[in-house]
Amino acid sequence: MQIEVNVPMMISDCTRGRTAFYLEVSTLKEALDALVTTYPLLRVHLYTEQGQLRKHVLIYYNEDNITWLQELDIPLKNGDTLRVLQAVSGG
């Protein structure tokens, strides 16, 4: 299935300047794996050294934050989206 992936401009240097692109994947887990396989520089922005999603990173599968999903082995369909958001704070 072809899904659309969106990343913020501030990390688009890790995706060859792209903020939107497509991946051919079958499951949500496969999409997350393909994301960092296709764009290895993203791994440091998205995951800790222990392989956990960084606290300031939010990844949405369609309208669902993946943090709240029970499992990631969800079958995807054409038109699904994956959005990467980075929380930014300041004072």
Q: What is the mean pLDDT of residues 8-13?
A: 95
Q: Give the C-alpha distances (Å, rounded to integers) separating 31 from 21, 72, 77.
A: 12, 10, 12
pLDDT digit string, tens, across residues 17-53 = 999 999 999 999 999 999 999 999 999 999 999 999 9
Distance from C-alpha of 1 to C-alpha of 24, rounded to nearest angstrom: 5
